[in-house]
A = this chain, B = another copy of it.
Amino acid sequence: MSIIATPQVLHSEAPLPLRSGASIRDYELTYETYGQLNAARDNAVLICHALNASHHVAGVYSGQDRSEGWWDNMIGPGKPVDTDRFFVIGVNNLGSCFGSTGPMHRNPATGEVYGADFPVVTVEDWVDAQARLLDALGIRRLAAVMGGSLGGMQALSWTMQYPDRVRHAVVVASAPNLSAENIAFNEVARRAIVTDPDFHGGHFYRHGVIPKRGLRIARMIGHITYLSDDVMNEKFGRQLREGIDLKYSTQDVEFQIESYLRHQGDKFSDYFDANTYLLITRALDYFDPARAFQGDLTRALAATRARFLLVSFTTDWRFPPARSREVVKALLENRRDVSYAEIDAPHGHDAFLLEDPRYLGVVRSYFDSFKEAVR
């Protein structure tokens, strides 16, 4: 049985200072909660989202079939993160396009839609905004913060920015920073968007157009990096879309994989905001907690107090297991309590969103082991 989710909104008038030096005021954060906060207010689990996800983490919307949250296989009553026990919070990040204040909203300073003027936000800024949401909810300390991919970076950043507010951090399919290749893929996607004539320097809203061509290309590139070579070969291989005869065409769809990618690109360009795509990929590029310590991740993680679970997937070539092991090693050098699971899964980076009994089992065991945070 699914729980019914209801989005809520926190409005903040006080300016939030950002790492860029700018600040944002009069902003809203859209969030959802599942389960009950206990009397001790110590059973809260914050879920951080990745590129194109949102605050809608679990459950369904009333009267809307197939509206499951993006991590509904992980979070809910009796699930690995059990909402019968934990009070789970999903929050949409600033700059996103699913409810919280973003580039498509009005800038209170000018009265105009932000567009490209929306300030650049970082993982650290998102964590600061999430901490304010916890303040508003009366939660001083989280039982756990959890996320996959870019969400895992936020979970990791929480343990450095607010060490005394996090008991556990669950960091899935993530990395301590982007590699040059990761940045390269982001940059190609951004160039596709920015050079789309319908982008208009990021102020396309005024022109009543959407840079859909660029968004489609960005999404197609993204999709390739989310899947493993193996799973692509298994799902699509060299299958032709229609029958067995080649069409000998450079522009028509010939192979199944082409049809799949075009479909993914089309869908994405219908709902995702182009400026949000730029902002979120940039937040990924910038995340690098070791930077302030001359590249020394061990020193960067010295301030942490949490216990950790890290999970990686063998076929994830976007954030391969070696990147998670860097974090594990740096935490162990700080004598932190770390569990690490490397899941042999065929699905590539996307595995963190999928049903895999060993993966879900590891997370379940980890949350089951919590001594604190019983309702």
Residues of A near any B CB (own CB < 8 A): 19-22, 116, 119-120, 177-181, 183-185, 187-188, 190-192, 194-197, 202, 213, 216-217, 220-221, 223-224, 227, 229, 232-233, 235-238, 246, 248-251, 254-255, 257-258, 261-262, 265, 275, 278-279, 281-282, 285-286, 288, 291, 317
Contact = CB atoms under 8 A, between A and B. Distances in A.
B183 A255 contact: yes
Contacts of A116: 250-251
Contacts of A258: 183-184, 187
Given A20-B248, A184-B261, A238-B288, A191 B179 contact: no
A229 B183 contact: no
A6 to B, nearest CB: 33
Nearest to A255: B183
Given A116-B250, A191-B262, 20 more contacts: A22-B248, A120-B248, A120-B249, A180-B236, A180-B238, A181-B224, A181-B229, A181-B233, A184-B223, A184-B257, A184-B258, A184-B261, A185-B224, A187-B255, A188-B224, A191-B216, A194-B251, A195-B213, A202-B251, A217-B217
Contacts of A120: 248-250
A255 B285 contact: yes
Nearest to A198: B197
14 contacts: A116-B251, A180-B229, A180-B233, A180-B237, A183-B238, A184-B232, A185-B224, A187-B255, A187-B261, A188-B221, A191-B262, A192-B192, A246-B286, A248-B286
B217 A191 contact: yes
A257 B182 CA distance: 10
A73 B1 CA distance: 67
A252 to B, nearest CB: 10
Contacts of A317: 317
**A-B pairs with lowest CB-CB distance, top 9:** A20-B248, A250-B278, A180-B232, A120-B248, A195-B213, A180-B236, A188-B220, A187-B258, A180-B257
Contacts of A179: 229, 232-233
A309 to B, nearest CB: 26
A229 B317 CA distance: 10
